[in-house]
Amino acid sequence: MLQCIFFLSDSGEVMLEKQMTGHRVDRSICAWFWDYVLSQGGDPSKILPVIASPTHYLFQLFRDGIIFLACTQVEMPPLMGLEFLRRVADVLTDYLGGLNEDLIKDNFIIVYELLDEMMDNGFPLTTEPNILREMITPPNIVSKMLSVVTGKNSNVNTRLPDATASCIPWRKTNMKHASNEVYVNLVEEMDAVYNRDGALVKCEIYGEVQVDSHLPGLPDLTLSFSNPSILNDIRFHPCVRFRPWESDQILSFVPPDGEFKLMTYRVKKLKSTPIYVKPQLTSDTGNCHINVLVGVRNDPGKTIDSITVQFQLPFCVASANLTSNHGTVNILADKTCSWSIGQIPKDKSPSLSGNLVLETGLDRLHVFPVFQVGFKIMGVALSGLQIHKLDIKNAPSQPYKGFRALTQAGEYEVRS
């Protein structure tokens, strides 16, 4: 089990240490770790997540400039360590409204309190944000206002969360709400790879059903889809009952309060993508001419928004001169070139063209950049998944129900 957790800044400074067991882990392990990071090139995001040091086994997670480092000396499931650190990062992001060095340093008391409730003696307890939120009030403006108004000056709820006594661990027993509403969002990400010949090598959708529920009492919800058969690799929030899904593909559940991920899924082997990106590189005698065309391939029926194309200029490029007929082109210091297009105009198709000057001695370009494409389409789930209906039982009055859909690019790459 985990013996100790350290938070390190991205310059290797120890920000916080939380010992879990009687076997104290000396801080010197962080120095060892940092030496290791430096020996691997100094970029914490490129370090193996599981490392063996001479004295401990380390799990590390790099998130928003903070390294979460956990130490253990016993054999344990690797995913348990990694998942736990990920939850710590998620919960802290949620509580502090972001994650960076200053936020942690300003709120380390809260961080200690949270770690205390999330893990005891190296064994993870609860990591469910809804429950933690009831034990330790997040340091937001609202609670600050409240404390001023009520004169209660504490960020710890004096009452224990009811959920700890309820048979449904993710929900407290008697929830009272002024609002009576539930929102279901389909959020999909499209992963696609076009190879050098322009053929679609891989195209699939990773989707999430996000629910934001503010319902009183103990509501019992059923959600059904018109075409559940297209879904693959489904994973559920613990609140979903397994049998109804097995027999009728119906999601039946008692929701936690607030936002949560009801289900994730994958839709495989899609045939087409909404936009095309066609890069062309021709090189001769130390120059490389580049031309990238972007356009609508398959109209999804809604506006395609926030289109971006990003690529890394090869290191052998000495200088680059790129222009576009639509949108803005930026070349960053690390030779990342980003072209933000926004929406595709009606009258022309956006194109980027320019010249790359290669380093002296090089005749042709041998290394080819990969173009990463971003876009966003509101109101459409590109997988074609459709919600059939949402029924709510046990509700005192009929609540407001809202549905939304969104598709955006995930790992969408075009090779040249």
Partner 1 sequence: MAPPPAPPQKSPSPSQPSGKSEVSDLKLQLRQLAGSRAPGADDSKRDLFKRVISYMTVGIDVSAAFSEMVMCSATSDIVLKKMCYLYVGNYARCHPDLALLTINFLQKDCHDEDPMIRGLALRSLCSLRVPNLVEYLVAPLGSGLKDGSSYVRMVAAVGVLKLYHISAATCLDSDFPAVLKSLMLTDPDAQVVANCLFVLQEIWNLEANKSEEASRERETLLSKKLVYYLLNRIKEFNEWAQCLVLELVAKYIPSDTDDIFDIMNLLEDRLQHANGAVVLATIKVFLHLTMSMNDVHQQVYERIKAPLLTLVGSGSSEQSYAVLSHLHLLVMRAPMLFSSDYKHFYCQFSDPSYVKKLKLEMLTAIANESNTYEIVTELCEYAGNVDVPIARESIRAVGKIALQQYDVNAIVDRLLQFLEMEKDYVTAETLVLVKDLLRKYPQWSHDCIAVVGNISSKNVQEPKAKASLIWMLGEYSQDMPDAPYILESLIENWDEENAAEVRLHLLTAAMKCFFKRPPETQKALGAALAAGLADSHQDVHDRALFYYRLLQYDVSVAERVVNPPKQAVSVFADTQSSEIKDRIFDEFNSLSVVYQKPSYMFTDKEHREPFEFSEEIGNLSLGQESVGNAPRYAESDKDLLLSTSEREENGGPSTNGPAASGYSAPTDYNSSLVSLSSQTQSETAISDPGMPKYTSQMTLAIDDLLGLSVPAAPAPPSLKLNPKAALDPGTFQRKWGQLAVSISQDCSVSPQGIAALTTPQALIRHMQASSIQCIASGGQSPTFKFFFFAQKLDGPPLFFLVECIVNTSSAKAQVKIKADDATASEAFFGLFQSALSKFGVL
Structural tokens at position 325:
């007929």
DSSP state of 197: T
DSSP letter for each residue of 4-41 = EEEEEETTS-EEEEEE-SSSPPPTHHHHHHHHHHHHTT
Number of residues that bind partner 1 (CB under 8 A): 96
Cβ neighbors of 122 (< 8 A, separation 6 or more) are: 1, 2, 3, 20, 21, 72
Please, what is the minimum distance in Å from the beta carbon of residue 349 to partner 1? 24
Residue with tokens 């330790």: 136
Q: Point out which residues pair with 323 in neighbouring strands.
A: 353
Residue with tokens 């499931």: 77
Span of 74-82, 223-231, 350-358, 392-400 interacting with partner 1 by CB under 8 A: 74-82
Span of 104-112, 217-225, 352-360, 390-398 interacting with partner 1 by CB under 8 A: 104-112
Write the interaction track for partner 1 spanning residues 343-372; mark x where CB under 8 A is met and - where it is not. Answer: -----------------------xxxxx-x
Q: CB-wise, 15 or 175, nearer to partner 1?
A: 15
Q: Is 133 in the site for partner 1 (CB under 8 A)?
A: no
Structural tokens at position 156:
């710890």
Footprint (CB under 8 A) of partner 1, residues 193-222: 193, 195-196, 201-202, 206
Q: Which one of residues 212, 259, 305, 411 is an interface residue with partner 1 (CB under 8 A)?
A: 411
Q: CB-wise, 59 or 350, nearer to partner 1?
A: 59
Q: CB-wise, 230 or 395, nearer to partner 1?
A: 230
Q: Point out which residues pair with 392 in neighbouring strands.
A: 221
Q: Is 258 in the site for partner 1 (CB under 8 A)?
A: no
Cβ neighbors of 328 (< 8 A, separation 6 or more) are: 339, 340
Q: CB-wise, 210 or 326, nearer to partner 1?
A: 210
Chain-centroid distance, C-alpha 74: 30
Q: Is 303 in the site for partner 1 (CB under 8 A)?
A: no
Residue with tokens 């929406």: 343
Footprint (CB under 8 A) of partner 1, residues 84-103: 84, 86
Please, what is the minimum distance in Å from the beta carbon of residue 365 to partner 1? 9
In 195-241, which residue ranges form alpha helices assigned H by DSSP? none
